[in-house]
């Protein structure tokens, strides 16, 4: 019975953790912030080190979606719980932490 309880606790812990990047680091030296009309994006203007293009599209409510070569790779993720104003704080330095929420491992 104790083993079943322990197994349930481990399964619950795994199911509730935030996804983390498991692949190799991908560098995107051409990444830039595009901030307009209450939307903000981190966009790779040139190919990243794995020969792909990445984009992280965010709303001012800190809801972000990641894409690779124009194809969405995740359901929307919530970066913070702030109701608005996220786009005013977004910078290239946020690339890695947000990409990890999407299961990617991107670096500027």
Which region holds residue 29: left if phi is over 0, alpha if psi is between -120 and 50, else beta? alpha
The C-alpha angle with vertex 36 and arms to 56 and 78, in degrees rounded to 5, equals 40
Give the pLDDT band (50/70/90) at residue 15. very low
pLDDT digits (tens, 9 = 90+) for 61-82: 999 999 999 999 988 999 988 7
DSSP string, 55-93: EEEEETTSEEEEEETTEE-SS-EES---SS-GGGT--GG
Enumerate residues 6+ apart whose C-beta is below 8 A from 30.
44, 45, 46, 47, 48
- Is residue 87 within 8 Å of 98, Cβ to Cβ? no
Give the global pTM.
0.76
């Amino acid at each position: 019975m104790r083993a079943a309880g322990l197994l349930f606790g481990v399964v619950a812990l795994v199911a509730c953790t935030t996804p983390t990047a498991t692949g190799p680091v991908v560098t995107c030296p051409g990444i830039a912030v595009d901030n307009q009309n209450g939307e903000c994006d981190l966009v790779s203007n040139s190919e990243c080190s794995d020969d792909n293009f990445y984009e992280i599209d965010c709303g001012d409510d800190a809801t972000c979606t990641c894409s690779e070569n124009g194809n969405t790779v995740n359901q929307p993720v919530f970066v913070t719980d702030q109701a608005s104003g996220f786009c005013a704080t977004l910078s290239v330095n946020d690339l890695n932490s947000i990409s990890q929420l999407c299961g990617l491992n991107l670096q500027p």
